Structure 1
Amino acid sequence: MQQSSREIQQLQQIDEFDRQLAHLTRLLDALSQATSTSQQVAVLEQDERVQAWLRSARSQAVVSELRCLSLSELFAILCLPAMMQEHVLSAQPEGNNLSLAVRTLSDALSRVNTFYSSIGGLLGYQRKCLEIMRAAVLAELQGCDASEACTPVTFHMPKGPDLAGPDGRRLAAQAAATGLEALPHMAEIYPLGGAGDRLGLKCEVTGASIPTAMLPYCGRTLLEGLIRDLQAREYLYYQLKGFQQMTPIAIMTSDAKGNHQRVLQLLESYNWFGRGQDAFRVFRQPLVPVVSAEDGRWLLPEAMQPVMKPGGHGAIWKLMLDEGVFDWLYQHDREAAIIRQISNPMAGTDATLLALSGAGYADGRSFGFASCERAVGAAEGMNVLMERQIPRPDGRGVEYAYNVTNVEYTEFERLGICDECAEGSQFSRFPANTNVLYVGLKAAEGAVRAGVRDGGGAALPGMIFNLKKKVTYQDAVSGRERTVHAGRMECTMQNLVDSLAQRFRAPVPDERHSVLNTFVVYNKRRRVTSSAKRKRAPGSTSIHQTPDGSFRDLMLNARDLLQRCNLLHVPEVGTVEQYLAKGPGFIFLYHPALGPLWDVIAQKIWGGALADGAEVVLEVAEACLVDVQVEGSLQVRADAVVGQVEPALAVNYNQIVSRRDIQISQINGRQIWYRNGTNSHHPVSATQDSANPQLPLHKEFSHVTGTASAEEPSPVSAKSTSLHSEAVTSGSERLVYSSRCGRIRLNSVIVRNRGIDWAHPGNVYWQHKVQRHETCSIVLHGQAEFEASRVILEGNLHFEVPDGFRMVVTADGGRLQTSLLPIGGQPSWEWRYKMGSQGDIKLTREEAGHSSSPLARSDSTELPFSYVI
């Protein structure tokens, strides 16, 4: 039968791939015998393609630069001609930039070579790409069903607790309670290495592309949102236990769009969010070359600058091993971690993350997914319980391997999965993979080490190569514009779980699927994920995975929360079309430390109503709002939401207990801590300290402040007479959770003003960038309080309360009257948290046992702020 031109082309492609693969395999076999980098360089120098390149007249300028490179950098450069990519070196930059270009290229290639060491480094990466591309061309040529070549597997619906089900609130409370108990043993891991090309973010000053982490969602970067969510869980733990936890955070960045430097600059600009630099571990994933699917050629749009992009979030596991991140987490006594992607600001909603932690940590499980319903046809993966039959090592029959896993949507056809609705449902028969994960650190590290030893597996989990994407670029060698199918090898972070399967001699019955070592926790979709991955096209009503769509889901969640708070009226958010045309029906934003659990928030906010088009912003954790009606805009902002930033003491921050009975005084540039109620400015004595065990006991934190001198008493003993610390720089400051924070109490208050200008063309709601006609603004500095009862706050109002004072607003003959009272170190009221036997958290409001007199207007003391009513 006569072959078509396409078939002839495919056969030629396969021949070319085979030629390159044979050459690379010979080289890798020879390199495997080398025992040092110098021997590896010698192997490459004997290769005929490398020798030809070294002798070429066009190469001499580059060859002369090789003398300045280290052996590992030299090896990386020689890999290019060895794997038939010498064109990367043939186009050279103009001017005197050759030396810099060679060093930059060699550094990037060396990182790739190190990362892929388990499969042969840079040469192994190229071979793997060619193998995948060859297999795809062969499958198309033979017209076979790709799923026929796969190992037979059975996919089951994963079983797990459903926080959105009929008994969801009880399950959520119980799982969240366990999650809080686990918090001292948990870490956070944020993969931020993605380029975020689909968002098209640009720096407003320079116009340069910027990564996803910088997206200004609700007025702050996405990274800050993740830190606030974590801070909220730590603050809830503090309120229940009396101890402050400082959760270590590991962040994977990349060099795409200056991601690494921008993330570091952001952390430094926020002074490491009051956590200290030692609470973070920032490490970079390598960028990998983009390869033409037609011939394996690297794309080269600029001289000596091949197209390189992040190799997928799955790179995180081997990098954590290579960079010592696992060991760093163990040094912080961490056993497990929550993993969140930067583009999903919704995962911290209500009990989702605490329940995931609790479900994993309670039984020492190895890997878990937060999952939700999935629309049929969505470009997102599925969570499935995979059952595989694997031959036993002794050859006698098979074993049954089980693990919950993720299947990417690009793999459905290959694995024979039909993306269809579940019976009687509008959603897919398998739930969505959200990349909100729980991981047991020892299990993960063990799997990665085994993968490195065996040459793949968990070291490079879920390797995929998308061959369908077209790329148009200006070729730096020929000068011509080229459009080719191209891609890069990527690893999927969540598919580490495939190396954590449990094996059984017989099939596991359905009723036992929920107790496997890998697991799923379900919740309503918009309480688990609503990502901001791509920019909405102008005029389009398709808002899925856009910032616009994510913010709409945020407001839908806010409406559910406010209804739980028993508000008499909460406006509808509106249809997608209404939302895009006019904005949401209301805006309600709050600091997550107000809860973060909705059942906690519903005890701080009760009753009242929001008028259509109302705006409420509560940047405060300590609030008591009863029967508050907002007709317009109300903004409450505390600059000390959960405590205050203080100079870093020689303190173990995971041992800090309640500071309600401690006050601070400055003496000769030092801080001395005193118990409230002791005689004026006398340190607590040893006798007093031992008599009252509620005084916090601090341990030395030498890597923060250094060793105490012989003349200065150590600030850490139970028998210390005082707690001292040298005055330190702002870089050593820490956020200390305490009652020294802002508070607001409103009872039967009406806020009435013109609020947001909803017709203003400059409004960008998902950025919380809005124009207002009027607003009622309340600013709380430090340990400040605001209180109003049975009043109408009408018009454009601004209240600003200084640190250490309480402002009380009352009505006097139809006019507002303000009084300013000194707090005296103790809050006038505070919430006491208590956990019930079923995990439910009950709040009781405790009033201070003392009263203060208002500051008379005739008082000669000059107040630091003025008040205009």
Structure 2
Amino acid sequence: MSLNTKVIDTMFSSSVEERDLIEKLASIGQLHLLFTGVDTLPQPEPAFRAIMDQLKKIDSSLAPLGGIVGYHRTFLQLLHNNPNTTTSGNYAPPNGPDFSEASPERNEAIQWGIETLPLMAEVYPVGGAGDRLNWHDLQSGDPLPAATLPFLGHTLLEGLLRDLRARELLHSRELFNPVILMTSQAKNNSAWIQQILEENNWFDRPKELFFLIEQPLIPVITEEGTWSIESPLKLQLKPGGHGAIWQMMLTTGAFDWLRSHNRKKILIRQINNPIAGLDANLLAFTGYGCHHDHSFGFASCLRQVNASEGMNVCLQHRGQETITNIEYTEFTKRGIADEPLSADTPYSRFPSNTNLLFADIDHIEQLIPQNPLPGMILNLKNSVGTVRAGRIETTMQNIADSMLSEPYTTFITFNTRRKTISVAKKEYLPEQPISETPVGAYADWLANMHDLLTNHCHMTLPPLTPDATLIHSPPFHVTYHPALGPLWSSIAQKIRGGILHKGSEIQLDIANLTLENLTLDGSLIIINRSLTGTCTLRNVTITNKGPKNSNTFWQGVQQRHEACTLIIDGDGSFTAENITLTGNQTIHVPAGKHLTRREQKR
């Protein structure tokens, strides 16, 4: 290909680092691809400079593999099925405590979880591209990252932070745990995350307790071994998996930052699993890990045979063992048979890897040099024309592969599946299964709400309906701020008895609530943003036209014919007893005020 003089001059006037990158590209036979069609660019120099800057970041982030050259060669090795670098051995089903039902052991773990909250921090990989969600900005049409997807009235990111706040409040109102967010350059992800945080005043959390890391994207390579080019001097780039988070935390000083806040352990959650914070799941999990001072842990649940999700296994090697993860694409390579627990169950003998993880920061940091990019697998879900293409992905949970020997210890806990994982990975399409869609997560949410309100709070609810009706007309719609609990045993003390008629809606954005024998036919909305106000409703009947049928229930953006809305500012309080509230009405209680409504005596 003919290069114009300006580009040649720019290349030869490059810095030493840039010339080194050019030589690296040439050594793996990819340099010429970058300049295909470069003579059509009116100003090639800025494009050249931009890609050099981009390649510097990529080369640095891939340093554990040997930079871009090592990445290219590793891709080809994986493509040709060279042996995986993970330690070989035997794989057995892992054992651990089951926290799915109330028990003295679970109660003890919950208490440990509350007591050790000041030792904890949270880590959220939020940089996924979310291609399959087909989620776009309504005004600009620009693709949006998964973290911005609304679910039950809040973005997925805010949902995780609301869950965290609820757990913190069980310890003290003054406690705010540090949060690390790993963003990426995909779909302008970093800018969107920053914008969400700033527009929402950091969700009323101290700004200085957020630590943002940006994960560089990596090149897409075809199965023919050529790098994919979007346009002249522009590579096709994709996120390289959340396994990069440990190396990124090391190079950005995140571990030292956590220590500066006196933190020792971290909880890792993925952005696309909005239900994991229900009930005692996270408290019991982290409490167990902290109390036993474990290095790493998995919160797991049942997994169906042949499901497209990873499994947790006990890796046994030379008399030592660790609990780790095997991705479903690797089962055959590892010689693992995905068999049921027994002949009469659809569930696998190996539980699900949910990517709800616990980690000791000192132990993780020690292991990064020997396993900087854990769990490398090949993702060939892209294409260039008719040729398959993809990139190397890494998995954060496979840092546990390096924990076979002392002093490292791993553990696993179990819970009910629908209270542990229900992901929003892909767009819901009519006539298609709802699994792994936001609608599927909403279906699991409703099933959990039915369980909570009927079996724990002893309310009477309409029965759950088939999935098809959930889109436009669910049998009921219930949301609440996690600070109402999050423990269901606590919520059961606040909501006692009552009737929820078909098509009714309850939205409880409040922590301090007494709801006894409520009869609801329509919509009831209680809002106390400070979580310091109080609302008491005893023997109250509420009747209005309620929500309209729509396709946005899972988003939490309902349109309503009528609603009874109670807005309580600050530490205000509202009490209603033995009355009926009819039609569309809003009751507003200012901060510091108390409003009471009772049946008038004759």
Question: TM-score with structure 2 length normalisation?
Answer: 0.96
Q: Taking structure 1 as reference, are residues 566 and 349 closer, same or farther at Cα in structure 2, changes over 3 Å only?
A: closer
Contact 1:626-1:748 at 8 Å conserved across structures: yes
Give 3-state SS (helix, strand or coil) of 1:812's partner. Answer: coil
Following the alignment from structure 2 to structure 1, what is the Cα–Cα distance between the partners of residues 320 and 390?
32
Q: Residue 8 of structure 2 aligns with which residue?
A: 63
Q: What pairs with 1:70-85 in structure 2 (closer than 5 Å)?
A: 70-85=15-30
- Same amino acid, percent of matched pairs: 39
Match of 1:525 in 2: 417
Structure 2 CA distance, aligned partners of 1:779 and 1:401? 58
**Is residue 154 from structure 1 mapped to residue 90 from structure 2 by the alignment?**
yes
User: Deviations 1:573-623 (Å, cap 9, x if unpaired)?
Assistant: 21223334x532111100001111111111111111211111100000111
| Paired AA for residue 362 in structure 2 | K
Query: In the aligned structure 1, how far is the partner of 2:239 from the partner of 2:86?
Result: 28
Aligned to 1:282, which of 207, 212, 226?
A: 212
Counterparts of residues 297-376 of structure 1 (less than 5 Å): 297-376=226-305
Q: C-alpha distance in 2, partners of 1:615/1:388?
A: 54
Q: State whether residues 294 and 360 of structure 2, in contact with CA within 8 Å, keep that contact through their aligned partners in structure 1.
A: yes
Q: Secondary structure at the match of 1:90?
A: coil
Q: Which residue of 2 aligns with 1:123?
A: 69
SS in structure 1 of the partner of residue 108 of structure 2: helix
1:496 counterpart residue number? 399
Q: One-letter code of the match for 2:383?
A: V
Q: Deviations over 1:214-252 (max 9, x none)?
A: 1011121100001100000111111xxxx6211000010
The total of aligned residue pairs comes to 600
Distance 1:150 1:546, change over 3 A: closer
Q: CA deviation at 1:470?
A: 5.0
Once the two structures are TM-superposed, the CA of residue 74 in structure 1 deviates from its matched residue by 4.2
- Give the aligned residue type for 2:416: K
Distance 2:425 2:103 in 1: 30
Equivalent residues of 2:378, 2:391 under 8 A apart: yes
CA distance in 2, matches of 1:247, 1:71: 43
> Which contiguous aligned blocks of 4+ residues in structure 1 show a shift greater than 6 angstroms?
none
Contact 2:459 2:496 in 1 (8 A): no
Offset from partner CA, 1:805-841 (integer Å, 9 cap, x none): 1111123379xxxxxxxxxxxxxxxxxxxxxxxxxxx
Q: Which residue of 2 aligns with 1:222?
A: 156
Q: CA deviation at 1:635?
A: 0.4
Q: Which amino acid aligns with 2:34?
A: V
Q: 2:308 aligns with which of 361, 375, 379?
A: 379
1:113 corresponding residue in structure 2: 59
In structure 1, what is the Cα distance between the partners aligned to 2:203 and 2:45? Answer: 39
The 5 A counterparts of 1:225-244 are 225-238=159-172, 244=174
The one of 187, 204, 210 equivalent to 2:144 is: 210
- Alpha-carbon distance in structure 2 between the residues aligned to 1:157 and 1:134: 30
SS in 2 for 1:108: helix
- Is residue 576 of structure 1 aligned with residue 521 of structure 2? no
Tell me by how many angstroms 1:776 deviates.
0.5
Give me the whole-angstrom Cα distance separating, in 2, the residues matched to 1:767 and 1:134: 43
Q: What is the aligned counterpart of 2:349 among 404, 414, 429?
A: 429
Contact 2:460 2:497 in 1 (8 A): no
8 Å contact kept, 2:573–2:589 = yes
Alignment partner for residue 618 of structure 1, among 504, 508, 512? 508
Output the amino acid matched with 1:111: K
The alignment partner of 1:616 has SS state of: strand
* Equivalence for 2:336: 417
Equivalent position to 1:766, from 522, 544, 554 = 554
Query: 1:770 corresponds to which letter in structure 2?
Result: Q
- Larger Cα Rg: Structure 1 or Structure 2? 1
Task: Tell me if the contact between 2:281 and 2:420 (Cα under 8 Å) persists in the aligned partners.
Answer: yes
- Distance between the aligned counterparts of 1:171 and 1:525, measured in 2? 19
Residue of structure 1 aligned with 2:188, choices 239, 258, 278: 258
Distance in 1 of aligned mates of 2:468 and 2:150 = 23
| DSSP-derived class of the 2:332 partner | helix
Match of 2:427 in 1: 535
| Structure 1 position 69, deviation (Å) | 5.3
Change beyond 3 A, Cα 1:89–1:562: same
1:367-423 CA distance string (max 9 Å, x none) = 00010011111110001111113xxxxxxxxxx220001110000111111122111
**Selected match of 2:534 from 738, 743, 749:** 743
Specify the code of the residue in structure 2 equivalent to 1:354: L
Per-residue deviation, 1:119: 2.4
- C-alpha separation between the residues in 1 aligned to 2:567 and 2:14? 57
State the one-letter code of the partner of 2:562: E
Cα deviations across residues 623-678 of structure 1 (Å, max 9, x unaligned)? 1111112111100011312xxxxxxxxxxxxxxxxxxxxxxxxxxxxxxxxxxxxx
Q: Which amino acid aligns with 2:398?
A: N
CA distance in 1, matches of 2:482, 2:492: 13
Residues in 1 aligned to 2:533 and 2:15: alpha-carbon distance in whole angstroms: 56
CA distance in 2, matches of 1:743, 1:69: 66
1:786 to 2:564 alignment:
no
Alpha-carbon distance in 1 for matches of 2:416, 2:451: 12
Match of 2:202 in 1: 272
* Cα distance in 2 between the residues matched to 1:93 and 1:635: 62
CA distance in 2, matches of 1:97, 1:323: 34
Q: Which residue of 2 aligns with 1:632?
A: 522
1:648 maps to none
Residue 25 of structure 2 corresponds to residue 91 of structure 1: no
Residue aligning to 1:245: 175
- The answer to whether the 8 A contact 1:77-1:109 is kept is no
Amino acid across the alignment from 1:353: L
In the TM superposition, what are the counterparts of 1:581-600 in structure 2 within 5 Å?
A: 582-600=472-490
Code of the residue aligned with 2:107 in structure 1: it is A
Do the aligned partners of residues 793 and 69 (structure 1) sit closer, same or farther apart at CA in structure 2, a change above 3 Å counting?
farther
- Flag the 1:337–1:790 CA change in 2: closer, same or farther, 3 A: same
Q: Report which stretch shifted further, 202-211 or 778-787.
A: 778-787
Contact 2:3 2:38 in 1 (8 A): no
Q: 2-side partners of 1:360 and 1:757: how far apart?
A: 45
Q: CA RMSD in A?
A: 2.0
Deviation at 1:801, TM superposition (A): 1.3
Decide whether the 8 Å contact of 1:564 with 1:602 is kept in 2: no
1:143-182 equivalences in 2 (<5 Å): 153-165=89-101, 168-182=102-116
- 3-state DSSP of counterpart to 2:596: strand
How many angstroms apart in 2 are the aligned matches of 1:95 and 1:611? 65
CA distance in 1, matches of 2:107, 2:299: 16
Q: In the aligned structure 1, how far is the partner of 2:307 from the partner of 2:504? A: 34
SS at match of 2:322: strand
Query: Is structure 2 residue 446 aligned with structure 1 residue 555?
Result: yes
CA distance in 1, matches of 2:358, 2:88: 28
Distance change in 2, residues 1:636/1:417 (3 Å): same
CA distance in 2, matches of 1:227, 1:67: 50
| 8 Å contact from structure 1 (residues 335, 441) kept in 2 | yes
Stretches of structure 1 that go unaligned for 5 or more consecutive residues are 1-55, 137-145, 390-399, 452-457, 473-481, 505-515, 642-740, 815-869
Q: Once the 2 structures are TM-superposed, how far is the Cα of residue 527 of structure 1 from its aligned partner? A: 0.7
- Counterpart secondary structure, 2:81: helix
| Counterpart residue identity of residue 615, structure 1 | E
Judge conservation of contact 2:495–2:515 (CA < 8 Å) in 1.
yes
Distance 1:59 1:316 in 2: 41
Using the TM superposition, give the Cα deviation of residue 81 of structure 1 relative to its aligned residue in structure 2, in angstroms: 2.0
Which residue does 2:383 correspond to in 1? 471
**Which deviates further from its counterpart, 95-104 or 350-359?**
95-104
The Cα of 1:434 is off from its aligned counterpart by 0.3
Q: Could you say which residue in structure 1 is the equivalent of 2:365? A: 445
User: Are the structure 2 counterparts of residues 524 and 150 from structure 1 closer, same or farther at C-alpha, using a change threshold of 3 Å?
Assistant: closer
Report the Cα offset of residue 356 of structure 1.
1.1
